[in-house]
Structure 1
Amino acid sequence: MIFSLQGIVQELTPTYAVINVNGVGYYTGISLMTSQKLVLNKETFLFIQQIIREDAHLLFGFHTRLEKEMFNLLISVNGVGAVSALILLSTLTLEEIASAILSGNGALIQKAKGIGTKTAERIIVDLKDKVQKFGDAEGNISSFENNKVKEESLSALEVLGIPKRTSEKIADRILKQIPEITVEELVKQILKNI
């Protein structure tokens, strides 16, 4: 399974790029968000999602790991294919998508070409609990690093027998106050506040 590609941008359009890795050109579908970060004939690094179908092996490239995660969440929804997910990622920012899902704003999701009312509703229902990592109830987006620190801290506390629900709210409060906190420090702070 291809996880990432590092190479020269050989061809570039708003919807796909060819990444030349040691003489082999990899055709990767991309969103407008990723396309804007790439420069023709310059070195790049992309996170890759490989989708293997009976008739094709497809590669989709993302400038950030967070964009790849959102893509995977979107394609997990019944009726949302890879192309629809890329169109949505090209139409709205990650923040807007997460905020629309959390607030139940189907009209905003429908701005993406090809996504109708039923699909938008399905995206909201299926992903409401899964996009919390992209933001809180107010739709504020936390950074990926904060998220990673939070996840590792909550896992460590679960090993110590502290339920995730108990520590999660405390973790969110502390991360808002001290965004650059380390895993070790966050675990200590949560233990103090329980």
Structure 2
Amino acid sequence: MFGSIRGTVLRIDGFTALIEVAGIGYEVEVPTSALAKLKVGSTAFLYLHHAVREDAHLLYGFLAYDERLLFRELLKVSGIGAKTALALVSTLSYADLTQAVESEDVRLISTVPGIGRKTAERLIVELKDRLKRLPISISMVPTPPETKTETPVVPASEGLSPEPSLSPRVIREESIAALIGLGYKENAAVSYVKAVYQSGMDTRAVIVAALAHIAQHHRRG
């Protein structure tokens, strides 16, 4: 089983990061917390969850060890698969999600795409006691210090070239597609992207801003 990965970020498409290790590229699905930190050309370290299906081997990556623990606990809840678990940890921060479970905030949890009221209630019932038994808190396990977030100079001979500049229209379309992939309805995704998009933003920045906007909107609601 894969436990972690350290390598060069070659590309980021929506919530998928392509990370090269020893000449092999691994596609890793990541939540917003990781998406906001990863940069093409930088060296990244992620804790991995390896999911095996009949038709595929899937990797999910997290900056913090206990974020992966939370993801795995979510997978144990009846009716929640990897896509919904990733949507949960992407839409709500670790602190917000654990607090919502502790306070039985069904309304906040059910704002996550793929989570209806009944699923939110079941999640609270199944997770409340288990979360108290998790061995660590998020502040205790930072990303290892040797992880580099700055973009180094990479020789052209290594085959890594910067991503081409995309037009604002393509950036908005990619951002909308990423939100739809998380489970948001198309009209909602369009509205969220329109609300946060500013000239000069790349796709990753738009996605992160849109999810922050969604979370803030639901807290006020």
In the superposition, the TM-score normalised over structure 2's length comes to 0.60
Q: CA deviation at 1:132?
A: 1.8
Paired residues, what number?
140
Partner of residue 125, structure 1: 125
In structure 2, the CA distance between the partners of 1:35 and 1:118, relative to structure 1 (3 Å rule), is same
Q: CA deviation at 1:144?
A: 3.0
Q: CA deviation at 1:14?
A: 3.9
Q: Does 1:76 align with 2:76?
A: yes
- What's the secondary structure of 1:128's corresponding residue? helix
Partner of residue 66, structure 2: 66
In structure 2, the CA distance between the partners of 1:70 and 1:24, relative to structure 1 (3 Å rule), is same
In structure 2, the CA distance between the partners of 1:36 and 1:14, relative to structure 1 (3 Å rule), is farther
Q: Does 1:143 align with 2:151?
A: no
d(CA) in 2 for partners of 1:120, 1:34:
24
Q: CA deviation at 1:131?
A: 1.4
d(CA) in 2 for partners of 1:142, 1:4:
17
What code does the residue aligned with 2:93 have?
T
Asked if the contact 2:12–2:40 (Cα under 8 Å) also holds between the matched residues in 1, the reply is: yes
Partner of residue 35, structure 2: 35
Q: CA deviation at 1:142?
A: 6.7
- What's the secondary structure of 2:19's corresponding residue? strand
Gaps of 5+ in 2: 142-221
In the superposition, the TM-score normalised over structure 1's length comes to 0.68
Q: CA deviation at 1:33?
A: 1.2
Gaps of 5+ in 1: 136-140, 146-194
Partner of residue 183, structure 1: none
d(CA) in 1 for partners of 2:26, 2:138:
32
What code does the residue aligned with 2:139 have?
S
- What's the secondary structure of 2:115's corresponding residue? coil
Partner of residue 5, structure 1: 5
Q: CA deviation at 1:53?
A: 1.1
RMSD: 1.7
Asked if the contact 1:10–1:18 (Cα under 8 Å) also holds between the matched residues in 2, the reply is: yes
Asked if the contact 1:95–1:134 (Cα under 8 Å) also holds between the matched residues in 2, the reply is: no
What code does the residue aligned with 1:48 have?
L
Q: CA deviation at 1:13?
A: 3.3
Question: Which is bigger in relative contact order (C-alpha 8 A, separation at least 6)?
Answer: 2
d(CA) in 2 for partners of 1:52, 1:17:
18
Partner of residue 170, structure 1: none
Say which one has the larger Rg. 1
